[in-house]
Amino acid sequence: MSYTPFKIPKNLLLGSATAATHIEGGEQEHNWYRWSELGNIKDGSHSKVACDHINRIESDVDLIKGINNETYRLGVEWSRIEPEEGKFSEEGIAIYRKEIKLLLANNIKPLVTLWHFSNPLWMEDDGAWVSPKSVQRFLSFSKYVVDQLGDLVEDWITLNEPNVYLTFGYFEGIWPPGNKGDLKGYFAAAKHFALAHLHAYEQIHEQLKSKGCKDPKVGVAHHLRIFDPANGSWLSKMAVNLISRLFQNIFLESMTKGKFLFPLRSGGFKATRAHYADFIGINYYSRDIIKGVLNPATLFGDRLLKENAPLNDLDWEIYPEGLYRICKQVYDKYQRPIFITENGTCDAADNFRTKFIYDHLKVLSKAINDGIDIQRYYHWTLLDNFEWAEGNSARFGLYHNNFETQERTLRKSGEFYANICEERLVSARMIEAFLK
């Protein structure tokens, strides 16, 4: 394959991303701690260990600076900040103030995620997001966090991938709470996620403006996939439309426009503004080929892999063109700025991550040059971490992490990305050094 140099567009900030539960460690009373205790992590690892980031904040910020990131997406752990309902921890929130101040001192712009798959057990045991109480609970938590951090942070993600959380937790049953085939729970929780974001969007704007913030940015990080039909049959096309609608379109439409598509219910919500997103976050990894089948349990579609397609360690197709297609679809429909809030690949041996970064950034540069307003790129992820049900075995990091010693080592792909972030281009020299 031939590689050609290209420049990174001027308005695209480059960074990396993590989630609190992925990296922090500590015996926190949340759903993933319990799920680990029950032995439901594939490789036997545990969220209480993770990357021990909670004790290594200074050195991990040095890692971010070491790869020349302009921005960093981090999460806060709800159970650390609100260990009991209505009782907030000053010690817990102080950890995040410390980390954010370190980022700012190193000229790294923070993007903070309020919820990323982790529920405190007091909430989990009272219906989690299926409970109507979840909306007000999230608003109360969000208000406290923004009150405490809003003088430091302008950019916020309310929710990360509620569709993935619900698919694995309430449809497939392989994530907590382990409810397989619970469509009633799926749609009830989907409604509450949408309402939580819509109300939080307005609440956060009011809070930040009261603090003198002139340009607050609030959005959702959506997991978006390409679904292509396996053939031209009406059944395959129908399955693609149904799966796209229930997996991603109902979330995009409700959280961006305040419009609830069937079968999602609005709970009486009436939109009073044109949009509820200052940016649309896109987490892009792969695509699925959908073959129509007469099986309602799979939404009439079997998910297949394209024959002879390149795959990562988790057998996900590596399909860079899909990033362009997703960005164009979303921008054409909503005309909102786009942040690529996650994009990366599982590659323990670091055999193809460098090529992955090259291919996806080249596609992204083309999309921007074609007029799509893409403003941020966050590589997933900074360092190998606790990847939910996969545990420590799924390695997405620019830094290799030795989970026994917690020693971080920059991979060659990480060096490549650090060069891109520093020079704002992919040069002939970099192609020779890293891609040949």
How are beta strands 425-426 and 407-410 bridged, if at all? unpaired
pLDDT in tens, 298-319: 999 999 999 999 999 999 999 9
- Per-residue model confidence (pLDDT) at position 57: 98
Convert 13-42 to b/e letters by CB count within 10 Å (16 or more is b): bbbbbbbbbbbbbbebebbbbbbbeeeebe
Token pair, residue 300, equals 């009439």
- Per-residue model confidence (pLDDT) at position 197: 98
Beta strands in 28-126 (DSSP E): 71-75, 109-115
- Per-residue model confidence (pLDDT) at position 271: 96
Reported confidence tier of residue 24, pLDDT bands at 50, 70, 90: very high
pLDDT at 176 over 90: yes
Residue 433: other Cβ atoms inside 10 A: 13
Order of strands across the sheet with 226-229?
226-229, 287-292, 301-304
pLDDT in tens, 67-94: 999 999 999 999 999 999 999 999 999 9
Mean pLDDT of the chain: 97
Residue 173: other Cβ atoms inside 10 A: 14
Comparing C-alpha atoms, which of 290, 387, 375 is closest to residue 337? 375
Backbone angles phi, psi at 110, to 5 degrees: -85, 145
Average pLDDT score over residue span 202-228: 97
Cβ partners under 8 Å of residue 46, min gap 6: 33, 36, 37, 386
Reported confidence tier of residue 101, pLDDT bands at 50, 70, 90: very high
- Dist. CA 46–CA 39, nearest whole Å: 9
Give the DSSP letter string of 114-136. EESS--BHHHHTTTGGGSTHHHH
pLDDT at 1 over 80: no
- Per-residue model confidence (pLDDT) at position 399: 99
Task: Report the topology of domain 6-435.
Answer: TIM Barrel (3.20.20)
pLDDT in tens, 46-63: 999 999 999 999 999 999
Reported confidence tier of residue 199, pLDDT bands at 50, 70, 90: very high
- Per-residue model confidence (pLDDT) at position 162: 98
- Per-residue model confidence (pLDDT) at position 63: 98
pLDDT at 165 over 80: yes
pLDDT at 389 over 90: yes
Q: Is the pTM of this model over 0.75?
A: yes
- Per-residue model confidence (pLDDT) at position 95: 98
C-alpha distance across the termini of the chain, in Å: 9
pLDDT in tens, 315-354: 999 999 999 999 999 999 999 999 999 999 999 999 999 9
- Per-residue model confidence (pLDDT) at position 164: 98
- Per-residue model confidence (pLDDT) at position 191: 98
Contact (CB, 8 A) for 143 and 106: no
Reported confidence tier of residue 106, pLDDT bands at 50, 70, 90: very high
Convert 387-417 to b/e letters by CB count within 10 Å (16 or more is b): bbbbbbbbbbbbbbbebeebebebbebbbbb
- Per-residue model confidence (pLDDT) at position 307: 93
- Dist. CA 92–CA 110, nearest whole Å: 18
pLDDT at 127 over 80: yes
* Domain boundaries, given as residue ranges, for the chain: 6-435
Cβ partners under 8 Å of residue 189, min gap 6: 128, 129, 130, 134, 162, 166, 170
- Per-residue model confidence (pLDDT) at position 342: 98
Convert 132-160 to b/e letters by CB count within 10 Å (16 or more is b): eebbebbbebbbbbbebbbebbbbbbbbb
> In the chain, what percentage of residues exceed pLDDT 70?
100
> In the chain, what percentage of residues exceed pLDDT 90?
99
Helix (H) or strand (E) holding 334: helix 321-334
- Dist. CA 172–CA 89, nearest whole Å: 34
- Per-residue model confidence (pLDDT) at position 108: 98
Residue 261: other Cβ atoms inside 10 A: 15
pLDDT at 23 over 80: yes
